[in-house]
Amino acid sequence: MTAGAAGVRDAAPAVEWPTLALIAATYGAFALATTVLAALWLPLGIAVAGVAIAQFLSLQHEVLHGHPFRSRALNAALVFPALSLTVPYGRFRDTHLAHHHDPNLTDPYDDPESNYLDPAVWDRLPRWQRAVLRANNTLLGRVVLGPFVGNAAWLKGEWRLIAAGDRAVRRDWLLHLAGLVPVGLWLAWSGFPVWAWLVAVYVAQALVKIRTFLEHRAHLAPRARTVVIEDRGPLAFLFLNNNLHVVHHMHPQVPWYRLPALYARNRAHYLRRNEGYVYPGYGAVLRRHLLRAKDPVAHPLYPWPDRPAD
């Protein structure tokens, strides 16, 4: 950790009010979308609910890293409602923290968030499945197909763990089912159709796929696998500045609202660190990768050759 990052963390208050206020605003936006806006025009309500759920997912990411309170239990309580349907908060927390072990980034087996496959697995896939996964490796495909493809793989893996008797996974899913109760009660009270909520969840997950599309690349050096997207627009806010992803990986305890200043003070350092894996903004990502894959599906460096020291 750099001296600047250490100072930011040491100065963190007991309650991080910007994050707490944003959590309240996000619940408010979801409530507004599913009542007033849906009554005006249901597609508008669905769209705003989708954005609110995407913001909620970004806030869950912030919470699992220890914000806005110092109490893990209080933080978890803030994001207890299961707005996003398919990913229990406890499972998100555990798999994401495992993902933060940088030497394993992009590994098809050891990185829980890797989009790469072992080449040996890829070679055995049927032709139709390869076609779907190739399409999923473009930005358009990731947004349109990504939530379906990702959930199918995720839920299959979760079911295997539950069937194998993993009590921690089963506990987190039971808590998640409990978190669906307030969501269901709200939908019943507001009259917002369940199918419309499911569409909003898909919209939210599609938006998040924009962020995760190229967060990491295959590279021999773990430090060079994590991207910087120098965007300061609406998507950066929606993603809580995780577009500055190498900064987050190096300083995961720094709150979202302090990442831009930290990056600005140390830009040259971070870009040396990740060997220039940088995009000027999401517009550049769109232009380069809307219909063109950034990577092959099969990991191009797997099994790993000898890697240089990080």
Using one digit for the tens of pLDDT, what is the confidence trace for 61-70? 999 999 999 9
Whether pLDDT at 221 is above 60: yes
Whether pLDDT at 199 is above 90: yes
pTM: 0.94
Q: What is the pLDDT of residue 11?
A: 60
Give the span between the Cα atoms of 229 and 277, in whole angstroms.
9
Helix axes 17-32, 42-64, angle to 10 degrees: 160
Angle (CA) 220-262-231 rounded to 5° is: 75
Decide: 179 and 86 in contact? Cβ < 8 Å: no
Q: What is the pLDDT of residue 3?
A: 45
Give the E-state strand segments of 142-264 in sequence order: 228-229
